[in-house]
Structure 1
């Protein structure tokens, strides 16, 4: 029984033959070849139905999608997830797609997994031989999932203090009561957040770190500030920093300027209206005086 093939550049193998080749086997040798686990019981078949390449794990907040190439033509794919200590689980059985959501079989987020992408032809569906497969790189969700964008719920700048309150990203996993777990529920004390902030229209950034849901920063009370928040896992070797939140800016001082501008605009409009009324009355009064008879005439 051949065990499958692994991707190693252009050298992909099925059994003892290179993938993509095909051999004509004399019918007298078909049974012998089939017994050796290399061929199905037919005279001429390709050794592999197609070889799978570019297998990648894409994971954000533990939502994990497995992707690969190429698009199948006359065969299907089945995904097997192998854990170091857990049982093998199958996903996306006999699919014609080139991606598979494997989130629900990676619940043990500290486990290390590999994925086998099986290439299955209709000729093998009733066969007990293991179909050819490609093997992914190892993947450990706890160490490799990307932290998503924190959601900023509220922020204020009062006097010389900037306050920012934010919310943890949610994961696809739930508690027994059905509510979704946040990344904090999984990472616990390994999770930190970093606030990057700078004076508006300036490039000099400062940062602060917290393990809570808020920042309280001393700032210049006469300046506006822009900022964003990012989740970090300091214990990681790679992918320490997550996705950045949206950039927001305070508006201290801008409100006062807008009020002053609005007051001036209202005053100008009022003055223009008053002057128009006065001029209009004067124009009406002038013809009336001209029609009055002169004294002594």
Structure 2
């Protein structure tokens, strides 16, 4: 190899809803980086060829989400590397999208408090991956029954939090009809050892009786 060229350090995988960015340091001076993604069963794919950036969107080469990948970050001079010469490179930690991507925020579409029932309807986060017809797959399309959602709810102005779980797109909770409630939702993958809980949705509160229109 070429001993003078620095190799990448602090290599990290940053992945939310299967959108995955590889990041590293340092900023190159007088050389370039090329990323190679190695899967267990798939051919090596090159990305961000001769880049001067220190990040690379590798989403499209991780489509087989249950596969475990490693990245090789090659340090190369633009010319002068004949094919026989192995450029110096650094190796990332292993990354398995299915078990390591972070679940993004679900989006609450609407909520109603009628009598002693609170209903909340929400949407799954979408991934960058598409169906053959071009529509985006949601995280539920990929995780299927490995995914559930939790609703955390509490009486406005109080701290006692309760939770409910669903595998559908809605919650129906029995509540005290005279009180307002606040709540948020997050996706959960119970089978995971790490990254089980996703990002929390925005907190919303009901406004029964505060509002003449209610």
TM-score tier after normalising by the smaller chain length: over 0.9
Task: Describe the superposition over 1:18-54 as per-residue Cα deviations: whole angstroms up to 9, x where unpaired.
Answer: xxxxxxxxxxxxxxxxxxxx56xxxxxxx13112100
Q: Which runs of 5+ in 2 are unaligned?
A: none
Query: When you count strand as a share of all residues, which structure comes out higher?
Result: 2
- Whole-Å separation in 1 of the counterparts to 2:95 and 2:4: 26
Cα distance in structure 1, aligned partners of 2:178 and 2:88 = 68
Gapped regions of structure 1 (runs ≥ 5): 1-37, 40-46, 260-297
Structure 2 distance, partners of 1:141, 1:182, is 14
Q: Does 1:87 align with 2:43?
A: yes
- Displacement after TM superposition at 1:212 (Å): 0.2
- Give secondary structure in 2 for the equivalent of 1:255: coil
CA RMSD, 1 decimal: 1.3
Aligned to 2:174: 218
- d(CA) in 1 for partners of 2:67, 2:198: 21
Q: SS state of the match for residue 157, structure 1?
A: strand
Write out per-residue CA displacement over residues 1-22 of structure 1, whole angstroms, 9 at most, x where no aligned residue.
xxxxxxxxxxxxxxxxxxxxxx
Q: After superposition, where does 1:90-169 map in structure 2 within 5 Å?
A: 90-169=46-125
SS for the counterpart of 2:152 is: strand
More helix by share: 1
Per the normalisation by structure 1, the TM-score is: 0.70
**Residue 172 (structure 1) aligns with:** 128
Determine helix, strand or coil for the equivalent of 1:122. coil
Identify the structure with bigger relative contact order (alpha carbons < 8 Å, sequence gap 6+).
2
Native 8 Å contact 2:81 2:87 kept in 1: no
Structure 1 residue 160: Cα displacement: 0.3
Q: Which runs of 4+ in 1 moved over 6 A?
A: none
Shift of 1:123: 4.9
Q: Deviations over 1:185-234 (max 9, x none)?
A: 00000000000000001111000000000000000000000000000000
Q: For the residues of structure 1 that align with 2:181 and 2:31, how far apart are their CA atoms?
A: 57
Deviation of 1:128 after TM superposition, in Å, equals 2.2
Match status 1:248 vs 2:204: yes
Count of residues in Structure 1 that have an aligned counterpart in Structure 2: 214
TM-score, normalised to structure 2, is 0.97
Matched, 1:201 2:157: yes
